[in-house]
Amino acid sequence: MIPLALPYPIQFMLDWFLTYWWAWVFFALLTLAFQMWQTYIREYFAKKTNSWTMLEMHIPREFTQTPRAMEQIYSGIHALRNSASDLEER
């Protein structure tokens, strides 16, 4: 190692980190591989199980409500999606 003019605890920690670099790289790659695996599984089941439905709404021309009213309708539709509490629903 290159001798540095650092206090002993800092020098010790620096030496320790540089000596065991392979352990840090292993844990970093393990974490990365686990996250990539989770992403792969989520995308696989999302493609396999989701069946999307397009919702089309025709608004009459004589509609006199404000845009805020339509926003309320859209937020109400968005709130209809609930999380599954039963394992069979998931």
Residue 62 located in a structural domain: yes
Is residue 49, in this structure, part of any structural domain at all?
yes
Residue 83 included in any domain:
no
Residue 84 lies in a domain: no
The structural domain count of the chain equals 1
Q: Is 37 helix (H, G, I), strand (E, B) or coil?
A: helix
Mean predicted confidence (pLDDT) in 40-50: 86
Establish if 39 belongs to a structural domain.
yes
Of 44 and 83, the structure prediction assigns the larger pLDDT to 44
Instruction: Please indicate, yes or no, if residue 3 is contained in any of the structural domains.
Output: no
The answer to whether residue 41 is domain-embedded is: yes
Q: How many CA within 13 A on the CB side of residue 40?
A: 6
Higher pLDDT, residue 55 or 24 = 24
Q: Which domain holds residue 59?
A: 8-78
In a domain, 87, yes or no: no
